[in-house]
Structure 1
Amino acid sequence: MDLRQHHETPAPAPASLAQHAPFRRVFSPGKLTFGLIAPLEAYPGSPLPTMRDHERMARLVDDAGFASIWLRDVPFLDPAFGDAGQVFDPFVYAGFLASVTKRISIGTAGIVLPLRDPVIVAKQAASVDQLSGGRFLLGLSTGDRPGEYPAFGADFDNRDERYREAFALLRQLGGQSFPAATTRHYGTLDGSLDLVPKPVRRHLPMLAVGRSRQPIDWLARNVDAWIWSVDDAQAIGDILASLRLHAGDRTPPPYGYATFFDLDKDPDAPPRRYYNVVRIGRHALIERWQAQRALGVSHVALNMKPSQRPAEEVIAEMAEHVLPLFNAD
């Protein structure tokens, strides 16, 4: 297969995802689920988390009923952004989390695909999927930190094209035996080599994280799910309508969003937004999420970095008062 065309041939949504329990734990029709973006702690005053007690926190989140833990791909500390994510490499850390949890889905949000070799990404992702018992979700992005590109000797201006080409190559490497492919920006496969291991179910769920500089029609026809940052009701309605319009003969990918999150200690506190941080009390939060579920939002990934309360306290309140209302549906 020649992957050098600008618009790759879209793959139909595989029926296997309907039986893919870890994917359906996060993206299930008619349901709204919740995940946490690592690190599993609040660190509002520092770009670096402590990463203390993170094994116990992962087990706590697993037992609390959250659907997922998401790992970011942040190779450098960039003072202009002031946040180094979970610090540890996402694939290495995903393997660690797989060994200390039992049920929760583990995903990346997202691997900066134009900065990585897709063959190695395919190998790493399939390895984590096997070691986690098939609980891995591969979220892929183009990144939001231009300063990282020169460090990798990568072209920042063509990252959208390289993202599409690498995405298609990942599909082949995980789903085909002895694949053949010719690429513009990566290598050539002549059919004499097979990448092992393969994902547990062959079709590893692949998500777009952020817009990834892609048109809506490409996202609608190629990704298994989409996590962005848009949480406005009107905009969500427009996004879902556009995905349905462009999906063609496949089911539109489910939509979710990621947000910085600060659960107010007062359960009656109204919602307040501070730039990209939502501070909100429990009652207003439940009302907000019920409305978003009705719109068709499938998943919310919560980043507790700016939380004014300890993460364990927030997780306990969510587990007791919020998650049961949505998990029971």
Structure 2
Amino acid sequence: MDALLSIENLRTVFRTNAGEIAAVDGVSLSVARGKTLGIVGESGCGKSVLSLSAMRLVPPPGKIASGRIIFDGQDLLALPDEQMRALRGRRIAMIFQEPMTSLNPVFTIGDQIVEAMRAHERGTAAADLKARAIAALDRVRIPAAARRFDEYPHQMSGGMRQRVMIAMALACGPDLLIADEPTTALDVTVQAQILDLLRDLQVQTGMAIILITHDLGVVAEMADEVAVMYAGRVVERTSAKKIFDDPQHPYTLGLLGSIPKLEEQHERLLAIEGAVPPPFALPTGCRFHPRCVFSDAACAKTDPSLRALGDAHEVACLRAPVETIVDVAA
């Protein structure tokens, strides 16, 4: 299936007193129309910077140093700023991580949705924009949408604010939705409602979704394909089914092993020792080797690239496939 978005060898850097550091370092991935790509990893792995790079919204002192971002045949990095602004919001939209800080507290919900539409549809009558904004609120299952149109963010719960963010992102009918931790800080019941809503809207509109998360439960619920990120790089990439049935990178195995299982209530949870290294102090060789229980001398010397392990399964590990590692995750 043809990719709607294809990211090729992307490198996003930040200038610091210690020099230039790469938050995203040589990442390649793609998502097809109507499909969901899950990008998973711990905090600090670069997944949010990757999503901002795809929107060309990397804040200073960051910049995209190299690579290509191909959206529907266009290289976004080659577009003039004006064309990118026209594309952003209309054809590519983003739900940011924290709805309370993403919404302006001094404007009503309706004003903010209308503003998002007006940026791309100048000349449209105000009454038409209001009607469409109310319809957008209704579509994301906000009750009494016409009344909520005139409310302020503080008058809504966290779950309702997240629905508003989704309504705003989808108001112009984008082909691609980037959702950065869309269920963070929401309780489990509301999380499930938001995921159900996103899935239903995807079926209705045919949009592609890039889902940024640290929660493998969300990945299992939503994703068709998965890219596991660590220290600015993709270390494993395959289908969601294979990630859970046949994981091959030790980091992926560690993430899966740390998930509580109802059938193993008395088993001690596995933990990945240490933390993601900061981009200014990366280890030599494999970036995961200081935390990997399966590493050997070669892992400290050789930096592995993604390589194929059968059909549509790539992993950046010198020791993969390793049956003993698979047994640990079973």
Same fold (TM over 0.5): no
**Higher strand content, 1 or 2:** 2
* Bigger relative contact order, structure 1 or 2 (CA pairs below 8 A, ≥6 apart): 1
* Greater C-alpha radius of gyration: 2
Q: TM-score, normalised by structure 1?
A: 0.32
